[in-house]
C-alpha cells in the first residue's frame, strides 16, 4: 500500500502509450484527495522540459517557495522543500516520464531525476512507457541485485541484459526466469547481439548483417530497385498489387540532371493516396505526376486516365500546401466528371470530397461543409461503412463542424471514423492518427479531458516511434497533451 504501515516512497506505472496510465494516476489522485484530505497533491507533466519547468514554478507558488535570485533552480528548491518535511504530507505525480535523456540525464544534462524528492512524508507516482526509467526511479533494488549476481557482475553480460530488457520491454523477473530456465533457452538469449554504443564501430550486430550487406550491394548496382524497396517497405506486405508499382525503366543520359522514366503503367490516384502520401513522399509524387499530366495533355479532357492523373496531382499539391492550385484543378475535374459520370460514381465522389478538403484548408469552411453534407447522404447509400471515400468525407465533415462550433454534431461522426479506422488500419497509419488526434482535440474543447488524454497518449507514443523529433504533427500532438494535463492540474486543485 502506498500509504500503509509500510509506505513506499516511489511507485512506477509502466505500459505502452494509450493503455490508461494517466487515467489510473488521476483516479489515484482523486481517491487520495477524498480519503486523505490533508495531503497536498501535485501534478508534473514531463513531455518537455518547458512543461515540467512551468509545473514546478506553479508548485513553488503554492508552497510559498521563492527564489532568492535567478541563480537558484526552482526545481531544486521545490525538491528540497518537499524533502524537508515543511510541506507536510504530499503526493507528487510525474506523468509521461518517457524520455530517458530528459528524466535520467546524460553527459550534458543532469536530468529531471535529481529533482524528485525522497521523504517519508510523501509519495512519488511515476507514469512511463520506458521500463528503464521505471526501474531507475522506483529503485527495485532487490531484483536488480539478484540479476547482477546472476550475471556475475560481468560488464558485457550486464550490457546485453539491459539491451534485451529494453528491446523486449520485458521485466527483470522475465529475464531472471530465462536465466534460470533450460540451457537451450539461455543460449538462445545470450547468443543474440544487441546494439551497444560502447563497442567498436567496425563490429556489426548479428541481426540484420546479411541484409545490410545485400542492400549495400543493391544500392550500387540497381538504384531503381532501392527506390522500389524503400517504397514498398512502408506498405502492408501481405498483398501488394502489381498495378500499384510503376513499370519504370531508367533512361540513362550523361547530361541529365536527374533520372527520367519511361512509364509502362500510368500511376493512378490510388497510387498517390495509398502510397506516396502515406510514406510522406509528396515531392516525389508531384514530380512524377507533373510529368504524367504533361504527357497526357494530348488526350481528350474527358479521358478518365487523364482525369485520374490530374486528380492525383491536385491531391499532391494540396498535401504540399499549394491550395489554390489544387482548388483550380479540382473544380475543373469535378465539373468534367459531373458532366460525364453519374453522380454516384466513385471517381465523382472522390473528386468532390477532395475539393471539399481543399476548401477546408483554404478557410472556406461553409462551402466545405455543404459539399461534405451532400456527399455523406450519398455515400451512406452506396458505399460500405469502411470505404476510404466515405470515411475521409466523414472525417472532414467532423472537422468542419468543429470549426463552426458544432461540437456536439462533430463528436459522433469522428467517433465513428476512429472506430472504423482502428478496425482496418495499422496503429501507425497517418489517416488513423489524424482522425484520433482530431477526436481528442474535440473532446478537449468539449471538456472531456480524460478521454482526450487517453487518445493523445496513444498518438504521442506512436508518433514518437515513426516521426522525426522536429515533425510539426508530433509537436502539435505533444502540445495538446500538455494542455490537457494542465487542465487536469486545475481540476485537481
In this predicted structure, what is the pLDDT of residue 226? 64
Nearest to 360 by CA among 344, 379, 375: 375
**33 and 18 part of one domain:** yes
User: Residue 258 — pLDDT band, cuts 50, 70, 90?
Assistant: very low
What pLDDT was estimated at residue 15? 80
- How far CA 465 is from CA of 158, 181, 304, 458, 469, in Å, comes to 26, 33, 39, 11, 10
| pLDDT score of 207 more than 50 | no
Specify whether 16 is located in the same domain as 132.
yes
61 and 27, same structural domain? yes
**Residue 43, helix vs strand vs coil:** strand
Range scoring the smallest mean pLDDT among 68-82, 138-152, 228-242: 228-242
When pLDDT is averaged across residues 160-182 and rounded to a whole number, the result is 61
Mean pLDDT, rounded, for 424-447: 92
Dihedral angle at the C-alpha atoms of 296, 298, 299, 300, nearest 10 degrees? 130
Mean pLDDT of 283-296: 74
What's the CATH code of the domain at 291? Answer: 1.25.40
Q: Is 258 within a domain?
A: no
What are the pLDDT digits (tens) for 443-466?
999 999 999 999 999 999 999 988
- Predicted model pTM: 0.50
pLDDT score recorded for residue 4: 54
Do 73 and 106 have their domain in common? Answer: yes
Instruction: Say which residue, 130 or 173, is predicted with more confidence.
Output: 130
Q: Is the confidence at residue 491, as pLDDT, over 90? A: no
Q: Where does residue 155 rank: exposed (0-12), middle (13-18), buried (19+ CB within 10 A)?
A: exposed
The 8 Å CB, 24+ separation contacts for 251-259 are: 259/224
User: What mean pLDDT is predicted for residues 78-107?
Assistant: 83
pLDDT band at residue 472 using 50, 70 and 90 as cut-offs: confident
128 lies in the same domain as 181: no
Residue 384 lies in a domain: no
Strand, helix or coil at 362?
A: coil
Only one residue has cell 534460470, namely 180
126 vs 118: CA distance, rounded Å: 13
Overall average pLDDT of the 79-96 stretch: 88
Q: What is the pLDDT of residue 175?
A: 66
Mean pLDDT of 75-101: 86
User: Exposed (0-12), middle (13-18) or buried (19+): which is 421, by Cβ within 10 Å?
Assistant: buried
Number of H helices, E strands in the chain: 22, 6
Distance CA 190, CA 161 (A): 8
Q: Assess if residue 309 is contained within a domain.
A: yes
Number of domains in the chain: 3
28 and 112 belong to one structural domain: yes
Range of the domain at 275: 269-340
Identify the domain boundary among 322, 340, 358.
340
Does residue 175 lie within any of the structural domains? yes
Phi, psi at 251, each rounded to 5°: -100, 110
Span 27-41, mean pLDDT? 89
- Report the distance separating Cα 447 and Cα 380, nearest Å: 30
Residue 177: inside a domain = yes
pLDDT of residue 139: 52
In a domain, 133, yes or no: yes
* Per-residue pLDDT, 182: 32
| Model pLDDT, residue 333 | 95
Does 335 reside within a domain? yes
Q: Looking at the structure, do residues 44 and 129 belong to the same domain, yes or no?
A: yes
As given in the structure block, the three cell numbers for residue 312 are 492525383
Region of 127 on the Ramachandran plot (φ > 0 left; ψ -120 to 50 alpha; else beta): beta
Same-domain check for residues 36 and 130: yes
In this structure, are 174 and 74 located in the same domain? Answer: no
Query: Degrees (nearest 5) of the Cα angle 401, 403, 407?
Result: 50
Query: Are 130 and 154 found together in one domain?
Result: no
> Do 51 and 116 sit in the same domain of this protein?
yes
Q: End of a domain among 301, 325, 340?
A: 340
Do residues 14 and 129 both lie within one domain?
Answer: yes
Q: Is the pLDDT of residue 330 over 80?
A: yes
Quick check: is 232 in a domain? no
Amino acid at each position: 500500500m502506498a500509504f500503509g504501515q509500510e509506505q513506499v516512497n516511489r511507485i512506477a506505472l509502466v505500459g505502452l502509450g494509450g493503455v490508461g496510465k494517466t487515467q489510473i494516476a488521476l483516479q489515484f489522485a482523486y481517491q487520495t484527495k477524498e480519503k486523505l484530505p490533508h495531503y497536498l497533491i501535485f501534478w508534473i507533466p514531463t513531455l518537455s522540459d518547458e512543461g515540467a519547468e512551468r509545473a514546478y514554478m506553479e508548485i513553488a507558488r503554492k508552497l510559498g517557495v521563492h527564489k532568492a535570485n535567478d541563480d537558484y533552480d526552482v526545481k531544486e528548491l521545490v525538491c528540497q522543500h518537499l524533502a524537508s518535511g515543511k510541506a507536510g504530507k504530499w503526493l507528487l505525480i510525474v506523468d509521461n516520464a518517457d524520455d530517458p535523456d530528459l528524466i535520467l540525464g546524460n553527459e550534458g544534462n543532469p536530468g529531471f531525476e535529481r529533482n524528485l524528492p525522497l521523504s517519508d512524508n510523501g509519495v512519488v507516482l511515476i507514469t512511463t512507457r520506458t521500463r528503464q526509467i521505471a526501474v531507475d526511479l522506483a529503485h527495485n533494488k532487490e531484483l536488480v541485485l539478484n540479476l547482477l549476481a546472476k550475471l556475475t557482475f560481468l560488464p558485457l553480460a550486464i550490457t546485453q541484459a539491459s539491451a534485451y530488457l529494453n528491446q523486449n520491454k520485458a521485466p527483470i523477473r522475465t529475464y531472471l526466469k530465462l536465466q534460470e530456465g533450460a540451457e537451450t533457452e539461455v543460449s538462445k538469449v545470450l547468443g543474440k547481439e544487441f546494439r551497444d554504443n560502447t563497442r567498436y564501430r567496425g563490429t556489426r550486430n548479428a541481426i540484420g548483417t546479411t541484409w545490410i550487406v545485400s542492400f549495400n550491394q543493391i544500392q550500387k548496382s540497381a538504384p531503381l530497385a532501392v527506390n522500389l524497396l524503400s517504397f514498398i517497405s512502408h506498405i502492408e506486405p501481405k498483398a501488394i498489387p502489381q498495378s500499384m508499382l510503376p513499370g519504370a525503366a531508367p533512361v540513362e543520359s550523361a547530361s541529365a540532371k536527374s533520372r527520367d522514366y519511361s512509364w509502362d503503367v500510368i500511376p493512378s490516384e490510388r497510387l498517390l493516396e495509398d502510397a506516396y502520401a502515406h510514406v510522406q513522399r509528396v515531392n516525389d509524387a508531384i514530380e512524377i505526376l507533373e510529368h504524367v499530366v504533361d504527357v497526357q495533355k494530348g488526350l481528350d479532357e474527358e479521358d478518365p486516365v487523364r482525369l485520374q492523373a490530374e486528380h492525383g496531382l491536385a491531391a499532391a499539391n494540396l498535401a504540399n500546401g499549394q491550395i489554390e492550385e489544387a482548388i483550380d484543378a479540382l473544380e475543373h475535374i469535378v465539373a468534367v466528371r459531373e458532366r460525364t459520370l453519374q453522380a454516384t460514381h466513385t471517381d465523382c465522389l472522390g473528386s468532390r470530397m477532395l475539393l471539399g478538403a481543399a476548401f477546408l484548408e483554404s478557410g472556406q469552411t461553409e462551402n466545405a461543409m455543404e459539399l461534405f453534407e451532400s456527399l455523406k447522404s450519398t455515400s451512406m447509400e452506396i458505399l460500405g461503412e469502411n470505404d476510404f471515400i466515405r470515411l475521409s468525407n466523414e472525417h472532414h465533415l467532423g472537422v468542419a463542424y468543429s470549426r463552426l462550433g458544432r461540437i456536439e454534431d462533430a463528436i459522433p461522426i469522428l467517433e465513428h471514423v476512429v472506430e472504423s479506422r482502428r478496425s482496418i488500419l495499422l496503429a501507425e497509419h497517418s489517416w488513423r492518427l489524424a482522425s484520433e488526434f482530431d477526436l481528442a482535440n474535440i473532446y478537449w474543447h468539449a471538456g472531456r479531458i480524460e478521454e482526450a488524454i487517453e487518445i493523445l497518449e496513444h498518438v504521442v507514443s506512436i508518433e514518437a516511434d515513426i516521426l522525426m523529433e522536429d515533425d510539426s504533427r508530433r509537436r502539435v500532438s505533444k502540445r495538446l497533451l500538455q494542455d490537457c494535463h494542465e487542465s487536469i492540474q486545475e481540476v485537481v486543485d
